[in-house]
Structure 1
Amino acid sequence: MPIIQSVERALKILDLFNEQEPELRITEISERMHLNKSTVHSLLRTLQEYGYIERNTENGKYKLGLKLFERGNFVTYNLDTRTIARKYLLDLSLKTGHTLHLVILEGKEAVYIDKVEGKSGNVEGSRIGRRATLHSSGVGKVLFAFRTEEEMNQILDGYIFEKRTTNTLTNKEDFLEEIAKIKKQGYAIDKEENEPGISCIAFPIYSYTNKVIAAFSISMPTPQLNDEQLNRIIPIMEQTAEQISKEMGYRS
C-alpha cells in the first residue's frame, strides 16, 4: 500500500517536537525535513487549521497544539475504561457463560474495544475494532439513549437506518420510541436486530462526569434469551454496570 507523501510529511513534522525542543522556527523545521520553506509553511498552515500545531505570536515559533492533547486523552481514557472494565467482564462471563463486549461511541457508530469470549463460544461475528450501527445493536442503542438532546440531533442528522436483519428498526420514529423505553428501564435489548440468530442485553457505563462513556453487552443465541434468562442476567449486569461506573468515578 503506497504512503501518501503529504500525510507522512505532516506526521514527521509533529515528531520533531519534544521536551528538549517544544518550539521550533520554520527555518529549523525546513532544514530538518529537507524541504523548502514554502512547502513547510503549507503543511504547518494545514496542521494549524486543525489545531495540531500552534504558532507563538511573540517569537514566531511553532509548537504542538491542544488537539493532540485532546486526542491523546481520548485514547488514554478509552484504555483506562477497558482496563477497569475487563476484570468485571471476565467475572460476568464466568457467571453467565456468555460472551461480553465493551463498546464506545465514535461519531455515529459504536466501536468494540474489548471482547471476553464465553465458554459457549458461539458469537463469532464480533471482534475488537469492529463497528456497529447505533439503531440495530444493543450497545449502540444504549450509547445513543443517554446522550443530550443536542448530541442526539447531531447524530440523527443524515443518519441512515440500514436494514441489517428482518428485525432491524428502519425509521427514526420507531427508533426514538425504543430509545424512550431504554432511558426508562436503563438497559437495551437487541433481538436479532443486528445479526441473525444472536440477541444481546446492553448496559451503560458512566464516568466521573456523570456521562455515559461506554456500554457493555452480553450476547447469546436468541433461543437462550427467555424470561428466565432475563430475570437472572439483568440484575447481575446492573450490578456490574454500577461497579464499573463507580470505579470510573461515577457518583449517582
Structure 2
Amino acid sequence: MEKLTGSKETRTSQVLANGLRLLSTIAKANGEFSVREIGRMLDLSPTVTHRLVATLQEHHYLEKNLETGKYVIGLESFRVGKSYSDAFSLEGVAKPVLYAAAHENSVNCFLGRRKGTSIVYLHDFSGAKRSSIRIASGTEVPLDATSMGIAILAQLDPKSLEDYQSRAIAEGLRDQKDFDAKFEQSLEFARTHGYAMVRSEIFPGVNAVGATVGLPGRLHDSAISFSAQTSSPDLGSIELLGAKVIETSAILSQQLQAAKRISSA
C-alpha cells in the first residue's frame, strides 16, 4: 500500500514524489542511466526503482535506448517542459493581458513580431463594441505600414534603419518615395511620445497606436497595437489610445521580467 507523508492536511504521495525526483534527477544529469544507476542515485531499492521506471516508460515520460538498455527523458516530459516555457514566453504572457485590455478599453488589440522587413500578426483580440477588426494570424505587412512596425523601426540606429529601407526596396515592398518626410516624422513622433501612430492603418477610418514590448535594455522585435474607429466618442483620440498602449506595454514588460526571473530560478 502506498505510503503517505506529512500531516493529514498536507499529505503527499511518496510514490509520486519518488517518480518526480527520478525525472528531475535524470533531466538535470542530461544523460542515459540504467535501472541500477537510477536506484543508486535516488537511494531506492531495486524493486521500487523497477516499478517507477516501468510506469514512467509506459506513459512515455522515460524512453529506453534499445542499444544501451539505459533510460532517458521521454516525449511526455518534453511536452510538460514546453508547456511551462510557453507560459513564460512573450505570447504566453501577452495573451491574457491583451484580452483583458481589449475588453476593458473596447478596442482591437494586436500582437506582432518583426520578420525581416515585415511585421507578422501573431494574435488579435477584439473588444470593440462597434466594429471588430480581425487580422488572420500569420498575416505579414511591411513594417512601416503599421504602428507596431513604426514603433520597432523607431528604436533602430541610422545604419540599421537604412538597411531596412534598402531591403524593403530590393524586395519590391516599397519605393524610395515611400521613405519621405512623412515617414521620418512618424519615426520622430514614436521616439518623442513612446508610441507610434498610424491613421487609417490597413482599414480606412481607423486610428492605430503601437508600442514595443520586451525586456528592458534590449532592442525589441515584438510590439502591440490598439486600434479604434476615428468616430469613436471615447477612443477616437490618438492621445488616449497612446496612453493606453503605453500602459499595457509597461505591464507586459514587467510581467516578462518576472517570468524570466521565475524561469531562471
Please say whether Structure 1 and Structure 2 have the same fold, judged by a TM-score greater than 0.5.
Answer: yes
Q: Deviations over 1:186-237 (max 9, x none)?
A: 1111111432232211111132553223111111223228787444433332
Query: Structure 1 residue 240: deviation in Å?
Result: 1.2
Q: Quick one: which of 118, 128, 139 aligns to 1:130? A: 139
* Cα 1:155/1:162, change in 2 over 3 Å: closer
Moved more, 90-99 or 229-238: 229-238
In the alignment, residue 97 of structure 1 is paired with which amino acid? S
What CA distance in whole angstroms lies between the structure 2 residues aligned with 1:177 and 1:156?
15
Match of residue 221, structure 2, among 209, 213, 216:
213
CA displacement 1:60-108 (0-9 Å, x = unmatched): xxxxxxxxxxxxxxxx889811111112111211211111000111100
Q: Show the counterpart of 1:91.
A: 100
Is this contact kept in 1: 2:148–2:224, CA < 8 A? yes
Percent identity over the alignment? 15
Structure 1 residues 87 and 138: CA distance shift in structure 2, 3 A:
same
Q: Which amino acid aligns with 1:198?
A: V
Change (3 A) 1:228 1:114: closer
Aligned pairs, number: 174
Do residues 184 (structure 1) and 192 (structure 2) align?
yes
Report the Cα distance in structure 1 between the residues aligned to 2:211 and 2:168, rounded to whole angstroms: 23
Say if 2:128 and 2:228, in contact at 8 Å, map to a contact too. no
The letter of the residue matching 1:133 is: P
Structure 2 CA distance for partners of 1:232 and 1:177, relative to 1, 3 Å: closer
Does the CA contact (< 8 Å) of 1:96 and 1:233 recur in 2?
no
In the alignment, the residues of structure 2 paired with residue 90 and residue 242 of structure 1 have an alpha-carbon distance, to the nearest angstrom, of 16
Structure-2-length-normalised TM-score = 0.56
Unaligned runs of 5+ in 2: 1-30, 33-84, 259-265
Structure 1 CA distance for aligned equivalents of residues 159 and 87 of structure 2: 23
TM-score for both structures, normalised by structure 1: 0.59
Instruction: Mark the structure with the bigger radius of gyration.
Output: 2
The change in CA–CA distance for 1:77 and 1:111 in structure 2 (over 3 A counts) is farther
How much is the aligned-residue C-alpha RMSD, in angstroms?
A: 3.2
Cα distance in 2, alignment partners of residues 152 and 78 from structure 1: 33
Matched, 1:103 2:100: no
